Every structure is written in C-alpha cells, then in structure tokens.
Amino acid sequence: MTDQELLSGYVDVWWQAINDFTDLLEELDEADWARPTDLPGWDVKAVASHIAHLESILAGNPEETVDVGQPDHVTSVMGLYTEIGVVSRRGADPDAIINEIRSSATARHTRLLADPPTDGGAKPDLVFGGVGWDWRTLLRNRPLDVWMHEQDVRRAVDRPGGMDSPAARHTAEYLAESLGYVLAKRAAAPAGTTAVLEMEGSAPYAFEVDANGRGQRLPAPPADPTVRLCMDREAFIRLAGGRCEPEPGTVQVGGDQALGQRVLDALATTP
C-alpha cells in the first residue's frame, strides 16, 4: 500500500466518523447537551465544542484566543489548549456547533480530496496548537478523537451504539498497538514476558518484552502467554481511553493474574 492510499483510507474513516458524530448530536434534546461525560469538567456541549474547535483550525480558520483560567480538571498544556474551544463556544447554541463541525469538516474534506497528501512523513501546513505531527499521525489521530468523543456523548445520554463502525475498529486497533509499551514500561514486566490481547472484532495482538526492556509485537500469539486479556471492544476502549470502568464480566484475565491487573490498571494511553 502506498502512503497516499494509506492516508486516503484515514481520511475516509475520519469523514465517516464526523458524519456519525454530527448525526448523533442532531438527535439530542436541550437537556442532553448539559449532561456530564466521563471527561472531568466536560459536558456534552463541551465535547462537541472541542471537536468544532479542532476541525475549525484544521479547516484553515485562525487560532482562537480566550482566557481559560486554571480549571481544576485541566492538568497539561495541551489540556489548556483544548479548553479554548470549550470556553469560546459557551454562548453558542447546539445548532451552531453542529453546523460549525459540518462546515469545517466539509471544507477540509473537499481540500483533502482535491489535493491528497502523498507522503506520510511530510508536515501538513495546518496542525492545531503547534503540534509537530506529520501527515500520518494527524490523519490517523483524527478518527480516533472524533469517535472516542462520540462514545463519550453516547454514554452520557444513554444512547449506546457505533461499536461496529470503521472508526470504532480503527480506534480500537490503533490503541491496541500500545500494549507492548504498557506491558514493558508501565507494568514493568521482565524480559521474556508475553501478553496477548484478544479483543472482540479484531485479530489477537501479541507482545513480548525483549532483552532491552521494550515491548515488541510478535507475528503470532504464543500458545501459552504469560498473561492473556480477553474483552469486547467497548471494554477495551474504556480502559485504553481512560474512561469509565468496563461493564462487569466484559474483561477476563488468564495466566499471571497480578501482572494482568497491572496491565489493565496502566492501559490508559489517551485522555
């Protein structure tokens, strides 16, 4: 697969995620927009405002300037940046936020189709907040961000769904690639330790800690890994996304129980 084909695939998944997200927002009533999400300090409107903010910047609109103060729920410089979109849209009504997401994303989608990026390692002209991402990282991350926030909204308003979409699979499998790092660094497993993730809807992911203390992906899962984690897709993205606890009975640990619990406790790799 060429870089252009890979990047175009990411664009397709992001565009589907945008449409799914805005379709969901269209279904909500006024009370839904004020419901709290799993993200500290953010209600549904804040989540939608965040997506509107980033899509607006990526569409070519100027960076926004607003005093966000020092909210208790913000713990990083990037958190302060993402708070800008939330604060600047507090007076906006839901329709305006939905329309902004759609118009910004449509402008960007049209541009990406007309002039598709061909080199994943090249730097895009537009990236929010001064982040130094290349095309591959930017386009791979956008479906993840949009879909994870769709799920935040779905849990907040009790409208489950979207677990079988292209963006759902993209996000879950993207996050699954971090298991080797979690195993070796966060869970501090010794060299030779193996872990297998069996996630519903995807092929197994297997990793081994090498002699240098790094988690390396294995071409095939070992028959008897040190630890085996089995779960459905929703349980995994809740854990890997640092959201709420999975539903009871949706996660099973085989092999080394203590290590398995350390891995589960350290699995969150995205805010």
Which pLDDT belongs to residue 121? 97
Judge residue 197's burial from the number of C-beta atoms within 10 Å of its C-beta, 0-12 exposed, 13-18 middle, 19 or more buried.
Answer: buried
User: Is the domain of 148 the same as that of 179?
Assistant: no
Q: Work out the percent of the chain whose per-residue pLDDT is above 90.
A: 90
- The pLDDT tens digits of the residues spanning 157-198 come to 999 999 999 999 999 999 999 999 999 999 999 999 999 999
Provide the whole-model pTM. 0.94
Is 163 a member of any domain? no
| Same domain, yes or no: 89 and 207 | no
By the 10 Å C-beta count (0-12 exposed, 13-18 middle, 19+ buried), 241 is classed as: buried
Point out the domain boundary residue: 124, 157, 190: 157
Do 177 and 222 have their domain in common?
yes
| pLDDT at site 126 | 82
Q: What is the CATH number of the domain that holds 28?
A: 1.20.120.450
User: Residues of the chain with pLDDT > 70: what percent?
Assistant: 100
32 shares its domain with 102: yes
Per-residue pLDDT reduced to its tens digit, 97-152: 999 999 999 999 999 999 999 999 999 988 888 888 999 999 999 999 999 999 99
Sheet architecture: strand order including 194-199: 215-217, 205-209, 194-199, 227-231, 251-255
> What's residue 271's pLDDT?
64
Q: Of 250, 229, 86, which Cα lies nearest the Cα of 160?
A: 250
Cα-to-chain-centroid distance, residue 22: 17
Q: Is the dihedral of CA 125, 10, 112, 104 positive or negative?
A: negative
Are both 210 and 130 inside the same structural domain? no
**Residue 34, domain extent:** 3-157
